[in-house]
Structure 1
Amino acid sequence: MAYTGRCACGAVTATIAAEAPIAVRQCWCRQCQQVAAGAHTTNAMFLTADVTITGTLGTHAYTAASGNTLTQSFCAACGTPVMGQVSARPQFRTLRVGFITPPHDLTPQMVIWTDDAPAWAVFPEGIERHARQPPPPPTS
């Protein structure tokens, strides 16, 4: 299955030439909570070479708690979160699942940065959890 993506206004689109993501994760880091208005983000990781984005992106880069530079990208017109890029892992693009066009089969396989989650957070049962940043996923 290949994937596509679209922001709320249609100004930014994506084509993802992959049969499946490398990983799908819920992230509870503080920065993701800010992006998601207080909850987690749900993100699908794909190889950079498989992702083609068209349209104008706005970006914001900062040093994340992991110590890496994280660049958040969003539609410059409507603000829809599109993806994150981590300086330590340029081989991946981490797309926000809400940006990816449904229907799709993307469900979280892992929850990360659980130490930053608020006391009321609920984690899916039966999936891997990491208190902070997990090791990078394999690319094959």
Structure 2
Amino acid sequence: MTERTGGCLCGQVRFRLTAEPIASRVCWCKDCQRIASNGTVNLIVPTAAMEISGNLGEYTRTADSGNQVIRRFCPQCGTQLFADSTGRVGATVVRVGTLDDPSSVRPSANIWSSSAPAWACLDSALERVERQPGPPPAKAG
């Protein structure tokens, strides 16, 4: 297991991940494009394996999938850090760009690729999912 750490732009929020990711994907949904002006690269991790210090703001919205998504961010600098969904209870999305070492993970798929702009650079080596994928396979353990 590789421990990963990260935080926001101003340093007010820091976090530590103590479990391997369940999945890592590039998301091209319209909400992620609004957040990043591009696709977002995300880890899905067990919520119980996260330690967070600092105050977070949050915003809840119904996603195109129909799930309620709570996005959490630094209220000081605005960095988007985490998202929780009613469709993934017990798992949290972590924005890979907030990791101290974002190269420590590699996405396995482009999701919501049907929403990607015509100029998007979709890595052909990654699985391509047109909309919301099913849940990641359970890991043996």
Short-chain TM bin: over 0.9
Residue in 2 that maps onto 1:96? 95
Letter in 2 for 1:72: R
Whether the 8 Å CA contact 1:6–1:99 is kept in 2: the answer is: yes
TM-score (structure 2 length as normaliser): 0.93
Letter in 2 for 1:50: A
Which aligned pairs between 1:52-91 and structure 2 lie closer than 5 A? 52-91=51-90
How far apart in 1 are the matches of 2:102 and 2:118?
Answer: 32
Letter in 2 for 1:35: I
Whether the 8 Å CA contact 2:26–2:110 is kept in 1: the answer is: yes
Cα deviation for residue 103 of structure 1 reads 5.8
Say if 2:33 is the partner of 1:33.
yes
Unaligned runs of 5+ in 2: none
SS at match of 2:6: strand
Letter in 1 for 2:101: P
Which aligned pairs between 1:121-136 and structure 2 lie closer than 5 A? 121-136=120-135
Whether the 8 Å CA contact 2:18–2:49 is kept in 1: the answer is: yes
Residue in 2 that maps onto 1:111? 110
Unaligned runs of 5+ in 1: none
Letter in 1 for 2:107: P
SS at match of 1:135: coil
How far apart in 2 are the matches of 1:83 and 1:138?
Answer: 21
Residue in 2 that maps onto 1:7? 8
Give 4+ residue runs of structure 1 displaced > 2 Å after superposition: none
How far apart in 2 are the matches of 1:103 and 1:121?
Answer: 20
SS at match of 2:92: strand
Identical counterparts, % of pairs: 41
TM-score (structure 1 length as normaliser): 0.94
Cα deviation for residue 95 of structure 1 reads 0.2
How far apart in 1 are the matches of 2:138 and 2:91?
Answer: 9
